[in-house]
């Protein structure tokens, strides 16, 4: 049955607004301004990943967003003492625990979970004590979802990367590609069903685009999608003409009197 997409929250990841700013170490574009526009466009939450290497989002961005945006802030973070201390000071409404590797371009895979991992268990509990909704970024697998629940998480975010990458796999024939997409989508669907069966909230994200969104948004039991790169990319294209026209108009207006 068609499920109204409005039932699924849209979290917009604005990391790459900060990536552009950091390329020049300057003050524009502003993640806060981007977040405000994203909210005006319908974002239900704003996601930022404060990486250990601070390659895009900076501590002050997170503080500013937490203080000024009108929707929940979802802080993506690795498990670690320093970042946890920072997060507890910021009190984000949501946190998504992710694996982090220094050399990766983006978060490559889901977390390796182990129910006896006390550091992760304590990290989840400490955030939850502040009424933070904690999700764990994991591969779409029932056993891993069970472990997330055992660790105390109230939500998981299913890694959609393998499914999304299948659309771009030029080594496959069209038939093979569509089979691969269907196989990955089935895994995601079963994982989402498993979440519902054991009573854990199901989020998903990574690699979702304007091209593939309509293939996933119907999945029953999905509560939230987190989307970043494609939205920031699209906003450059939808904004380019107006931005150039504004610069041209200023050039033509001559000097300030």
Catalytic residue positions, numbered: 49, 76, 206
Stretch that binds ligand PXP, among 63-71, 203-211, 216-224, 243-251 (CB under 6 A): 203-211
> For residues 48-107, which are near ligand PXP according to CB under 6 A?
49, 76, 96, 98, 106-107
> For residues 105-124, which are near ligand PXP according to CB under 6 A?
106-107
**First and final C-alpha spacing in the chain:** 63
Q: Tell me phi and psi for residue 209, to 5 degrees.
A: -135, 175
Among 34, 94, 137, 155, binds ligand PXP (CB under 6 A): 137
Measure the CA–CA gap between 248 and 242, rounded to whole angstroms: 10
Q: How far is the CB of 135 from ligand PXP (least distance, A)?
A: 8
How far from the centroid of its chain's Cα atoms is residue 201's Cα? 15
DSSP character string of 100-123: --TT-SS--S-----TT-HHHHHH
Q: How far is the CB of 95 from ligand PXP (least distance, A)?
A: 11
CB 166 within 8 A of CB 148: no
Q: Tell me phi and psi for residue 199, to 5 degrees.
A: 75, 50
Nearer residue to ligand PXP within complex by CB, 145 or 257: 145
Stretch that binds ligand PXP, among 21-29, 113-121, 212-220, 225-233 (CB under 6 A): 225-233
Measure the CA–CA gap between 219 and 146, rounded to whole angstroms: 20
Among 79, 95, 147, 227, binds ligand PXP (CB under 6 A): 227
The answer to whether 212 contacts ligand PXP (rule: CB under 6 A) is no
Q: How far is the CB of 249 from ligand PXP (least distance, A)?
A: 33
Measure the CA–CA gap between 168 and 161, rounded to whole angstroms: 11
* Sites of contact with ligand PXP (CB under 6 A): 13, 15, 49, 76, 96, 98, 106-107, 137, 157, 205-208, 226-230
């Amino acid at each position: 049955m068609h499920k109204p997409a409005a039932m699924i929250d849209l979290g917009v990841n604005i990391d790459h607004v900060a990536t552009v700013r950091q390329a020049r170490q300057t003050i524009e574009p502003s993640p806060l301004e981007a977040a405000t526009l994203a909210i005006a466009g319908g974002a239900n939450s704003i996601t930022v990943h404060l990486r250990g290497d601070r390659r895009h989002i900076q501590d002050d961005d997170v503080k500013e967003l937490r203080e000024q945006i009108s929707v929940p802030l979802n802080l993506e973070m690795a498990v670690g003492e320093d970042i946890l201390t920072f997060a507890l000071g910021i009190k984000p409404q949501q946190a998504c625990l992710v694996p982090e590797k220094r050399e990766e371009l983006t978060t490559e895979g889901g977390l390796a979970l182990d129910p006896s991992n006390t550091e992760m268990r304590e990290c989840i509990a400490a955030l939850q004590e502040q009424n933070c909704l904690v999700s764990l970024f994991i591969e779409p697998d029932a056993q891993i979802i069970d472990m997330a629940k055992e660790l105390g998480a109230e939500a998981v975010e299913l890694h959609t990367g393998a499914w999304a990458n299948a659309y771009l796999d030029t080594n496959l024939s069209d038939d093979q590609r569509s089979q691969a997409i269907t196989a990955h989508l089935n895994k995601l669907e079963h994982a989402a069903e498993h979440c519902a069966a054991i009573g854990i909230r199901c989020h998903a994200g990574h690699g979702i685009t304007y091209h593939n969104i309509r293939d996933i948004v119907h999945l029953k039991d999905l509560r939230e999608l987190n989307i970043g790169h494609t939205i920031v990319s699209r906003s450059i294209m939808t904004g380019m003409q107006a931005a150039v026209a504004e610069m041209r108009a200023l050039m033509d207006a001559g000097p300030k009197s």
